[in-house]
Amino acid sequence: MKFSNDFIFGGATAAYQCEGCTQSHGKGKVAWDNYLEKQGRFLAEPASDFYHKYPVDLTLCHQFGINGIRISIAWSRIFPDGEGKVNQEGVDFYHAVFQKCHEEGVEPFVTLHHFDTPDALHSKGDFLNRHTIDCFVEYCKFCFEEYKDEVSYWFTFNEVWPISVNQYICGTFPPGIRYDIDQCVRSMHNMMVAHANVVIAFHEGNYPGKIGVIHSLEYKYPYDETKEGDRLAAKKEDVLANQFLLDATFLGEYSDDTLEIIDQLMEMNGAAFHPEPEDMKILKKAAQYNDYLGINYYQSQFIREYHGENEIFHNGTGDKGTSVFRLKGIGERMFKEGIDRTDWDWLIYPEGLYDMIMRIKRQYPNYKALYITENGMGYKDDFEDGTIDDQPRIDYIKRHLEAVGQAIEEGANVKGYFVWSLMDVFSWSNGYNKRYGLFYVDYETQERYAKKSAYWFKEVAEKKEV
Ligand code: BGP
């Protein structure tokens, strides 16, 4: 399977997961700092020390044929309090990173928010508080102005649904609230309004370059196709996790089909969803200005009808078989015979990526381009004298790249693929034993070692063929 010459074969990172220096060099706190400290399992410090090691990582990109990198800017490194005073050291840091990217021939794709709202705003309700929307827009405008000569590819948010579901339903992200569908839906809507405002500001500011948003899109299949209840359960989870956000992004409105289910779910939880008319005007206006969509894809779900009590157990240790996800009146996620899964119970199902790309092409024909902004396999790598044989990761990436290639052959406009992650990084709710990198990080010495997958990916990237 051949990819075009300008196809991006990239590696993905995120500020909080790789930079370290979380509370130094003028950086303001984020909610994670206190949350992780209180939890006492692990910290994002020094993580992969990208703050100092970025030249090494970017040189590795160059040497291994990786022509794009996803980097996120830490909002609180620029505005320690989320608004107001600027931290010049943080501003300069990203200039240095972007300069090195260009020296090494690695295109930076920059995310403005990757799970790390400054604590000063997070503690006042994060995106449930509309003041955060205004601050986010100001911060983004600052970045566009500051980095316009160095950055051509922007993303507003990384993964709106995971932020909301983990903050308000699973309770695995701060503030750790559980089973609150109302706050989940409202925070998603507010983030989409923030995204839309930023896209409009980018367009009206005539900045060079392109902009879009990244959604985590997991295909929801009925566990048993023949059962009406399972089909409905899959539909409900799809609307909540996928269609609500795809509608907001591409249609600039929520379709009747979407609202019917959202209203049902809200009502079941004693709430109601009434977006402000002004918000809907903003969504509508911005929908035409999205240059692309980023898709993060790791897994799909098979869902069974469920009416019992809410019950979620997050497998954050790699103890295979321990995951539970059951939402009352929505559905229960099932393992499925014949479909392999990682030690963290993520179902390995490349068909879901193909199906999702083709669905977007069909359902939202005004999409302009797609990037697969994250895909990869969490794995307990064995480090033996500097040799890391991660064949299962190679198989995983290969199968997913083939699915992307197939979609392209059938007319989908996919412009690039980023492996999560470039090098091993900190994992939000799993710490350090869940590794994803093409490059192994020895967290004691901060040395990098190319895994077998890095050598394999180099060949793919150089030949543009899988
Ligand atoms: C995505 C996030 C990344 C990364 C990845 C792997 O949802 O955008 O930041 O963490 O998932 O997830 P995890 O580390 O939980 O395995």
Domains of the chain, each with CATH number or no CATH? 8-298+342-463 (3.20.20.80)
CB distance 162 to ligand 1 below 6 Å: yes
Pocket test for ligand 1, best of 323, 344, 428, 429 (most atoms within 8 A of CB): 428
* Ligand 1 atom index nearest CA of 429: 15
Nearest 5 degrees, angle CA 251-CA 252-CA 255? Answer: 60
- pLDDT tens digits for the chain (466 residues)? 899 999 999 999 999 999 999 999 999 999 999 999 999 999 999 999 999 999 999 999 999 999 999 999 999 999 999 999 999 999 999 999 999 999 999 999 999 999 999 999 999 999 999 999 999 999 999 999 999 999 999 999 999 999 999 999 999 999 999 999 999 999 999 999 999 999 999 999 999 999 999 999 999 999 999 999 999 999 999 999 999 999 999 999 999 999 999 999 999 999 999 999 999 999 999 999 999 999 999 999 999 999 999 999 999 999 999 999 999 999 999 999 999 999 999 999 999 999 999 999 999 999 999 999 999 999 999 998 789 999 999 999 999 999 999 999 999 999 999 999 999 999 999 999 999 999 999 999 999 999 999 999 999 999 999 9
**Nearest CA, atom 12, ligand 1:** 427
Nearest 5 degrees, angle CA 73-CA 79-CA 81? Answer: 125
CB distance 197 to ligand 1 below 6 Å: no
Nearest 5 degrees, angle CA 150-CA 252-CA 146? Answer: 15
Report how far ligand 1's centroid is from the alpha carbon of 406 (Å): 25
Report how far ligand 1's centroid is from the alpha carbon of 355 (Å): 21
Dihedral Cα 301, 363, 161, 406, nearest 10 deg = 60
Strand partners, 372: 295, 417
Phi, psi at 26, each rounded to 5°? 85, 0
- CA 20/CA 205 separation, integer angstroms: 33
CB distance 448 to ligand 1 below 6 Å: no
Among candidate residues 104, 159, 305, 332, the one labeled active-site is 159
Phi, psi at 162, each rounded to 5°? -60, -35
Say whether 166 sits in a helix, a strand or coil. Answer: helix
CB distance 438 to ligand 1 below 6 Å: no
Which DSSP symbol is given to 163? H
**Nearest CA, atom 13, ligand 1:** 427
Nearest 5 degrees, angle CA 300-CA 305-CA 308? Answer: 115
Residue 199: its H or E element: helix 181-204
User: Would the pTM count as exceeding 0.95?
Assistant: yes
Based on the residue annotation, tell me whether 384 is a catalytic residue of this protein: no
